[in-house]
Structure 1
């Protein structure tokens, strides 16, 4: 199920937009999260990068570390004033996200996703939701020109 809303605040230039979708906890669902993010941000006139990469990392974590068979993960995007907030909610609330330091000889890129999120986002964190869920979030500051209501204002 996809939900989208756009509303203007009480002052010019103050906007709230959101988009939310439930996706299967599979590699295909993670790829779809990134594609949907890119399309949604373009439709809002918001830069795709670095948000696309952040979503790719958080969605990959949700399907790799937060997967519980038969339970979807949720991607939610918010634009509030000049901030893009990305949230990925999975159903493994008992497994908090932990950045892992891969060794220098590590053959795999695995474990570096949260370090990448930390580098790309202005802020990030996580919080528990109703059991058994958790939400990992990241925020990216947007230039004022990118959220001046190109669509629907």
Structure 2
């Protein structure tokens, strides 16, 4: 089980935390628990449970849709950008494969990005600096002042 959690060694950096996760289903609840534990000391004025829910949806998608011929991991990072919280999930999949779907009531899957779209102030998909795809969400006004 390869996962790490670290803080940015540079105190001027807006990165608050990061995780490296195996692309396995067990990583989803682990990401949720670790995020909740390590974001709480920053006292965000938002629902940590909502953030953890969106994070777990993005990690689930990264695991389901990421791929590589070589062994790979899912990278998760969260940042303070001014008064906003930005959470990024990176995987080696293709950005073109990420899309907002409209799931039918009988569909068991397909609501992850819809959930993120409805809770977050904004979300983004694009090429990851690690190669592959990054999907991120932003919550505005998480820190006042």
| Alpha-carbon contact 1:91-1:132 (below 8 Å) kept | yes
Counterpart in 1 of 2:11? 7
Counterpart in 1 of 2:61? 61
Q: Which structure 1 residue ranges, 5 or more long, are not aligned?
A: 9-14, 149-153
**In structure 2, do the counterparts of structure 1 residues 34 and 131 end up closer, same or farther at CA, with 3 Å as the change threshold?**
closer
Whole-Å Cα distance in 2 between the matches of residues 131 and 144 of structure 1?
28
Is 1:90 equivalent to 2:91 in the alignment?
yes
Whole-Å Cα distance in 2 between the matches of residues 136 and 52 of structure 1?
15
Whole-Å Cα distance in 2 between the matches of residues 7 and 80 of structure 1?
14
Cα deviation code 1:74-130 (max 9, x no counterpart): 0000012210000000011265311222223x141x001100000010000111125
Normalised to the residue count of structure 2, the TM-score between the two structures is 0.82
Q: Which structure 2 residue ranges, 5 or more long, are not aligned?
A: none
Whole-Å Cα distance in 2 between the matches of residues 126 and 83 of structure 1?
18
SS at match of 1:58: helix
Q: How does 1:38-77 map to 2 (within 5 A)?
A: 38-46=36-44, 47=46, 48-68=48-68, 70-77=71-78
Give the alignment's Cα RMSD to 1 decimal. Answer: 2.3
Counterpart in 1 of 2:19? 21
Is 1:113 equivalent to 2:118 in the alignment?
no
**In structure 2, do the counterparts of structure 1 residues 71 and 103 end up closer, same or farther at CA, with 3 Å as the change threshold?**
same
Normalised to the residue count of structure 1, the TM-score between the two structures is 0.79
Counterpart in 2 of 1:11? none
